[in-house]
Amino acid sequence: MTQPRYTPLVAALPATVPFVGPEAQERARGRPSAARLGANENGFGPSPRAIAAMAAAAGDAWMYGDPEVHDLKAALAAHHGCRPENVVIGEGIDGLLGYLCRLLLEPGDPVVTSEGAYPTFNFHVAGFGGMLHTVPYLGDHEDPQALLAKAIALRPKLMYIANPDNPMASHHPGQTIAEMVTQVPEGTLMVLDEAYVELAPEGTEAPIDADDPRVIRMRTFSKAHGLAGARVGYALGHPDLISAFDKIRNHFGMSRISQAGALAALSDTTWLAYMRRLVDGARETIAQIARDNGLTPLPSATNFVAVDCGQDGAFATAVLEELAAADVFVRKPAVAPQDRCIRISCGPEAEMKALATALPSALKRARDRTSG
Amino acid sequence: MTQPRYTPLVAALPATVPFVGPEAQERARGRPSAARLGANENGFGPSPRAIAAMAAAAGDAWMYGDPEVHDLKAALAAHHGCRPENVVIGEGIDGLLGYLCRLLLEPGDPVVTSEGAYPTFNFHVAGFGGMLHTVPYLGDHEDPQALLAKAIALRPKLMYIANPDNPMASHHPGQTIAEMVTQVPEGTLMVLDEAYVELAPEGTEAPIDADDPRVIRMRTFSKAHGLAGARVGYALGHPDLISAFDKIRNHFGMSRISQAGALAALSDTTWLAYMRRLVDGARETIAQIARDNGLTPLPSATNFVAVDCGQDGAFATAVLEELAAADVFVRKPAVAPQDRCIRISCGPEAEMKALATALPSALKRARDRTSG
């Protein structure tokens, strides 16, 4: 029988996926979530202007989206004080990370990241045969000096750091990140994932020239702008690197509706300011719910809070499972000792209340299970 | 200065892109098109139900789309009489062709297609280092026997055919295509691109078992369903092949709004039947406009018509350029002798009138230019 002849790389790849979606959990459970707080989505939703722009664009969906994404790219360049040549727009940061790995990685190439950092980056590295080399977190922060030391030792093609970090919501001052860039070894490209930076304290955005060839910065409309389902990410970098994406990307891959939504969202600075206040309030609400239950919320520079459950990873997993059984969807870090936490996304009042309602008995059941 | 170290394959890739979008032409010209008839979009637009579903989903865009695209996949499986395990959904056929090439191709692997067939397939083959081997068209049709003979000689990992064909709008009976599958050599996967099949004469859809491991069929919501800008394509194939896409695809790459739109479009069979009549009428309108100007329309099984301009490729290019100068956007085949044609998409009455108005003087100017 004829079989497709996969590449040896693909034949050796595992069938695992980076994340199981909340819909799969809901289907398994047979009912929807009462609180969808696990995927770091922004339950406060996008700007009403973005919603209106997308609804208006729905009737234009017979047209392909502009493959150059010209208008959004121009607006982003103006927003960031750089040139359109510094900007590439793609199907979420996930899509752009995949393209980036494809541009640079051959089987066996080393890549440096933190143990327990963004799994989808690791998925794409593995997908192109890259070899992941990790350093541990330092006190629930990614560790710039350890990352640099590993990079200097291995001279990887890529070194990844997120600021603020996912899954811990910790952050470094932007100046620390900018100083990292100056120490990146020759031949290594630093991938700076700033998916959450619009929600971080002032000074977290690293002061880096968009023309700096040593770093590529990843941004998204999925978090602060509340457009995860629209799939609009972008990267800022040196024009040579940015133009390389054109050699391989799915040129007509960007939804026309999503382009319109992101453009409207970017222009609605009033909404973004309002969103920062909403997220700030929800962070405090989650922290208070955690404290009310004897748990320890970690400081957050993002739209989610890592909550230390005070025991090991098995206990935090039990808490997560019990919350899921009570229709509250959260996720958790995968690697010790960060896996002692659960990761709860900010959301509107009804979802915060569902969390507050479910958590005490979830904790009790988790304690009963793990003390047994 | 630090430079990213691209793979040798990427470093050698050209900077060319498969298609320049109509928006780029409009920006260069400084005004919009009067008739957007070049990209085989469906100017009659999507089902009103799909528009309503997308508008309604705009407010839900804060949620990632279901990475398993469960509901649409289930509906497509029911529609095609197969199992969800036979269906993978992606960011347009373009996105799926890219994934397919990545699954199978290593640098130097031969791939068989027709000279002048879909450029974006060729773009992805080249992007993974595949070596294209082509056979000529036979009388403005892709040539099944020539494709098979080349495949039997080279044993490529992939052999591509579109039915109906783009850019010529010709078609083979589905039975001819099904017979091709039985002759595909061991180790070759046939890629059957049926992007336009819903608009083709009855019997064009090839009777192929979705579990047949020798073929993968590409379908899209971009053409008959009028949702090009939503980016929803899908492939039907053996479950082993379909599941291989999960090893590498951008799992959260599908817009939530687009998933909702496609699901609604699929269910609106009344609109699809109405669309077939609209497209049929517009095909006849284009044919009549062509004949009125002394040109020869070729039979069409798609939502576009290849119009033979009666001279060589240079003349047809001049006609295309003069139409563009008159704000009428069309495209044309790239390879002789098909390049004697221009390719005009079906559209509503106003765009057909703009074409009818612009064509006589565009032809006159083209004749003046090329006779000089």
Length of chain A: 372
Interface A–B counts its CB contacts (< 8 A) at 284
* % residues pLDDT > 70 (chain B): 99
A15 within a domain of the structure (yes/no):
no
Q: Is B238 in a helix, a strand, or coil? A: coil
Inform me whether the C-beta atom of residue A24 falls under 8 Å from chain B C-beta atoms. Answer: yes
Which of A3, A5, A148 should we substitute to test contact with B (largest number of B Cβ atoms within 10 Å)?
A5
A275/B180 Cα distance (integer angstroms): 57
B36–A63 CB contact, under 8 Å: yes
User: In this complex, which of B10, B50, B104 lies closest to A248 when CB atoms are compared?
Assistant: B10
Q: Could you tell me if B169 and B237 lie in one domain? A: yes
Instruction: Kindly provide the ipTM of the predicted complex, given to two decimals.
Output: 0.97
Nearest residue in B to A18, CA atom: B251
Q: Could you tell me if B139 and B279 lie in one domain? A: no
* Cα maximum dimension of chain B: 62
Mean local confidence (pLDDT), A16-20 = 80
Under 8 Å between Cβ of A115 and A150: no
B41/A61 Cα distance (integer angstroms): 10
Nearest residue in A to B59, CA atom: A51
pLDDT, position B206? 97
Residues from chain A contacting residue B103 (CB–CB below 8 Å): 4, 6-7, 10
Q: Could you tell me if A316 and A222 lie in one domain? A: no
Cis ω for the linkage preceding B84 (within 30 of 0): no
A10 within a domain of the structure (yes/no):
no
Query: For B23-79, how does the pLDDT look when each residue is reduced to its tens digit (9 = 90+)?
Result: 999 999 899 999 999 999 999 999 999 999 999 999 999 999 999 999 999 999 999
Hey, which bits of chain B come out as E strands? 35-36, 87-90, 110-114, 131-135, 158-162, 189-193, 215-220, 233-236, 296-297, 304-308, 328-329, 341-345
A98–B250 CB contact, under 8 Å: yes
DSSP symbol at A14: -
B229–A62 CB contact, under 8 Å: yes
pLDDT band at B333 (very low <50, low <70, confident <90, very high): very high
Query: For B183-211, how does the pLDDT look when each residue is reduced to its tens digit (9 = 90+)?
Result: 999 999 999 999 999 999 999 999 999 99
Mark out the alpha helices in B170-293 (DSSP H runs): 174-183, 239-245, 256-267, 269-292
Among the three residues A267, A285, A301, which one is the final residue of a domain in this structure?
A267
CA A138, distance to chain mean position in Å, is 20
pLDDT > 60? residue A220? yes
pLDDT > 80? residue B372? no
A106–B7 CB contact, under 8 Å: yes
Mean local confidence (pLDDT), A165-193 = 97
Give the burial class of B119: count Cβ atoms within 10 A of its Cβ; 0-12 exposed, 13-18 middle, 19 or more buried. Answer: middle
Query: For B259-309, how does the pLDDT look when each residue is reduced to its tens digit (9 = 90+)?
Result: 999 999 999 999 999 999 999 999 999 999 999 999 999 999 999 999 999
B158/B124 Cα distance (integer angstroms): 12
Beta-bridge partners for A141? A138
A259 within a domain of the structure (yes/no):
yes
Query: For A70-122, how does the pLDDT look when each residue is reduced to its tens digit (9 = 90+)?
Result: 999 999 999 999 999 999 999 999 999 999 999 999 999 999 999 999 999 99
pLDDT > 60? residue A1? no
A95: closest CA among A206, A231, A238, A243? A231
Q: Which two tokens stand for residue A354?
A: 């569902």
pLDDT > 80? residue A330? yes
Cα–Cα distances in Å, from A63 out to A51, A60, B39, B46, B150? 19, 6, 9, 10, 36
Query: For B217-258, how does the pLDDT look when each residue is reduced to its tens digit (9 = 90+)?
Result: 999 999 999 999 999 999 999 999 999 999 999 999 999 999
Q: Could you tell me if A201 and A260 lie in one domain? A: yes
Under 8 Å between Cβ of A298 and A169: yes
pLDDT, position B1? 47
Inform me whether the C-beta atom of residue B189 falls under 8 Å from chain A C-beta atoms. Answer: yes
Q: What is the count of structural domains for chain B?
A: 2
Angular region, A30: left φ>0, alpha ψ -120 to 50, beta rest: left
pLDDT, position B16? 77
Q: Could you tell me if B203 and B54 lie in one domain? A: yes
B213–A261 CB contact, under 8 Å: no
Q: Could you tell me if B26 and B72 lie in one domain? A: no
Q: Is B120 in a helix, a strand, or coil? A: helix
Task: Return the CATH number at B228.
Answer: 3.40.640.10
B257–A45 CB contact, under 8 Å: no
B286 within a domain of the structure (yes/no):
yes
pLDDT, position B371? 81
Q: Could you tell me if B231 and B306 lie in one domain? A: no
Among the three residues A217, A232, A267, which one is the final residue of a domain in this structure?
A267
B62–A5 CB contact, under 8 Å: no
Which of A7, A63, A94, A123 should we substitute to test contact with B (largest number of B Cβ atoms within 10 Å)?
A63
B297 within a domain of the structure (yes/no):
yes
Mean pLDDT score of chain A, rounded to an integer? Answer: 96
| CA-based nearest distance A29→chain B, Å | 15
Window 318-337 of A: residues touching B by CB (8 A cutoff) are none
B64–A6 CB contact, under 8 Å: no
Inform me whether the C-beta atom of residue B241 falls under 8 Å from chain A C-beta atoms. Answer: yes
Mean local confidence (pLDDT), A300-321 = 98
A21/A322 Cα distance (integer angstroms): 18
Q: Which two tokens stand for residue B332?
A: 């044309």
B179: closest CA among B212, B218, B138? B212
| CA-based nearest distance B110→chain A, Å | 12
Virtual CA dihedral for B243, B244, B248, B253, nearest 10 degrees?
-30
A6 within a domain of the structure (yes/no):
no
B164 within a domain of the structure (yes/no):
yes
Inform me whether the C-beta atom of residue A29 falls under 8 Å from chain B C-beta atoms. Answer: no
A281/A44 Cα distance (integer angstroms): 12
pLDDT > 50? residue A245? yes
Task: Return the CATH number at B353.
Answer: 3.90.1150.10
3-state helix, strand, coil in chain A (%, to 5): 45, 15, 40
Q: Could you tell me if A249 and A131 lie in one domain? A: yes
| CA-based nearest distance A51→chain B, Å | 5
State which residues form the domain around B367. 20-45+270-371
Residue with tokens 């950092």: A117
Q: Could you tell me if A248 and A278 lie in one domain? A: no
A73 within a domain of the structure (yes/no):
yes
A211: closest CA among A85, A340, A28? A85
Query: For B147-172, how does the pLDDT look when each residue is reduced to its tens digit (9 = 90+)?
Result: 999 999 999 999 999 999 999 999 99
A307/A295 Cα distance (integer angstroms): 7
pLDDT band at A19 (very low <50, low <70, confident <90, very high): confident
B189/A2 Cα distance (integer angstroms): 8
Q: Are strands A131-135 and A87-90 parallel, antiparallel or unpaired?
A: unpaired
Among the three residues A249, A267, A285, which one is the final residue of a domain in this structure?
A267
B307: closest CA among B262, B370, B362, B239? B362
Cis ω for the linkage preceding A201 (within 30 of 0): no
Residues from chain A contacting residue B187 (CB–CB below 8 Å): 2-3, 5
Under 8 Å between Cβ of B224 and B276: yes
pLDDT, position B305? 98
Q: Could you tell me if B100 and B138 lie in one domain? A: yes
Q: What is the radius of gyration, based on Cα positions, of chain A?
A: 21
B3–A226 CB contact, under 8 Å: no
B21/B211 Cα distance (integer angstroms): 36
pLDDT, position B137? 98
Beta-bridge partners for B328? B35
Q: Could you tell me if A231 and A101 lie in one domain? A: yes
Q: Could you tell me if B26 and B57 lie in one domain? A: no
